[in-house]
Amino acid sequence: MFTVNDNYLKLPGSYLFSTIGKKVAAFKEANPDKTVISLGIGDVTRPLTSSVIKALHSAVDEMASADTFKGYSPDLGYLFLREAIRDNDYKSRGVDIDVDEIFVSDGAKSDSGNIQEIFGADNKIAVCDPVYPVYVDSNVMSGRAGIYNPETERFSDVIYMPCTKDTNFAPEIPSETPDIIYLCFPNNPTGSTIKKDELQKWVDYANKVGACIIYDAAYEAFITEDDVPHSIYECEGAKTCAIEIRSFSKNAGFTGTRLGFTVVPKELKSKDTSLNPLWARRHGTKFNGAPYIIQAAGAAIYSDEGKAEIKELIGYYQENQKVILDGLKSAGYEVSGGVNAPYIWLKTPDNVKSWDFFDTLLNEANVVGTPGSGFGPSGEGYFRLTAFGTHEATKEAIERIKRL
């Protein structure tokens, strides 16, 4: 008889955003007269920009003609897109990345969940606490995380790096040496970030102990401060210790169209084995490429017109960041994040538990956010709001929270 991958049975509860979705659906069903505003999952609300739409239309037309029709995409993604990424995301910042080091995918979530496959089963991971749940859950599924302890809300074989008010919501180098270190900056969920000299310390540390940093830079487009790096490769020596994951979701609104990429430098090695061909092998075997029309749409964001539109799009959400930050501050909330990131991290009033605050907000203000404890035990007593709503809904949500 078949058996199951019982690592899945070690996962507590359902995926955070599925749990929230179910709670909200139940509330809406019981209260059909209420208008619920969601500032929960970081899903965008603005439409795709006009150069992206134009590129989509013209790629669709290409698919309609035998002369221009495209079947499977090249393993690593179309060269036109990888060259645009190389030139605009890296060369423009003084970083030299080869097109063969860029792997186009259907999004940062898939890559951040799948990347652990190319590492040894006994590797020890270190994660921030609170953390984007995908990093931990994907390692649980592959048997790398040990056993879950419901009391501590932690897995036995995971190194947790608390990111609390005391650490300015940044991780500190752990006392136990990890093999893989997950870092996400600008950070999801706390909206905090890291300056270049601080990130350099992580790169130096990883090179010293032989660890690999998996750097999730999905929110880099929201950086406003000069000394905050957009890529880990801006740090000296990062190519021998870091993989970088990027997304088109949050900067260009591709949450529904799916596009991302991962950089695996050829110099990144475990002893003599380079990780780049391993990820290429994995990509070739398990993935047949993001659709041509989506890759063509992605390339459109790198045109002059596309760049200007993206700037405006991000500016739209940045206005929401300010509305949420200023509104909550004026209502007496302790808040952080929201300067270089589309997430605002707030302390719940009177140390109310995160899920209790979620219920209060949903029931009394009809506003949905994300409980901090859903991202890890150090998130208890915190709550995340996203700036990805519309201006109108964001303003209304903050007014409702102020009236609580």
Binding site for ligand MLT (CB under 6 A): 41-43, 109, 132, 188
* Closest C-alpha among 372, 369, 403 to residue 389: 369
According to DSSP, the residues that pair with 129 across neighbouring strands are: 162
3 state SS of 111: helix
- Minimum distance from CB of 274 to ligand MLT (Å)? 29
Between 205 and 316, whose beta carbon lies closer to ligand MLT? 316
Write out the H or E segment, with its range, that includes residue 242: strand 242-247
CB of 337 to ligand MLT, least distance (A): 13
Indicate the residue among 41 and 59 with the shorter CB distance to ligand MLT.
41
Angle ∠(177,183,184) on CA atoms, nearest 5:
170
From 257, 245, 239, select the one nearest 219 (Cα to Cα): 245
Return the number of the residue (109 or 230) whose C-beta is nearest ligand MLT. 109
354 neighbors 280 (Cβ within 8 angstroms): no
Identify the CA nearest to 6 among candidates 138, 140, 125, 117.
Answer: 140
| Cβ nearer to ligand MLT, comparing 109 with 239 | 109
> In the bound complex, what is the minimum distance in angstroms from residue 251's beta carbon to ligand MLT?
12
Beta carbon nearer to ligand MLT, 179 or 216: 216
Nearest residue relative to ligand MLT (C-beta): 42
Instruction: Kindly report the backbone phi and psi dihedral angles of residue 105, in degrees, each rounded to the nearest multiple of 5, phi listed first.
Output: -140, -175
**In the complex, minimum distance from the CB of residue 361 to ligand MLT, in angstroms, rounded to a whole number:** 16
Entry field: residues in the chain: 404
- Least CB distance to ligand MLT at residue 41 (A): 4
Q: What is the DSSP string of 373-401?
A: GGG-GGGTTEEEEES-S-HHHHHHHHHHH
Helix boundaries (H) for 185-303: 196-209, 249-252, 275-286, 292-299
Nearer to ligand MLT (CB atom), residue 109 or residue 144: 109
| Burial profile 71-102: b = 16 or more Cβ within 10 angstroms, e = fewer | eebeebbbeebbebbbebbbeeeebebeeebb
Q: Return the number of the residue (41 or 398) whose C-beta is nearest ligand MLT.
A: 41
Q: How far is the CB of 290 from ligand MLT (least distance, A)?
A: 16
In terms of CB distance, is 55 or 214 closer to ligand MLT?
214
> Which three-class secondary structure state does DSSP give residue 223?
coil
User: At closest approach, how far in Å is the CB of 80 from ligand MLT?
Assistant: 26
Q: Cβ 132 to ligand MLT, closest distance in Å?
A: 6
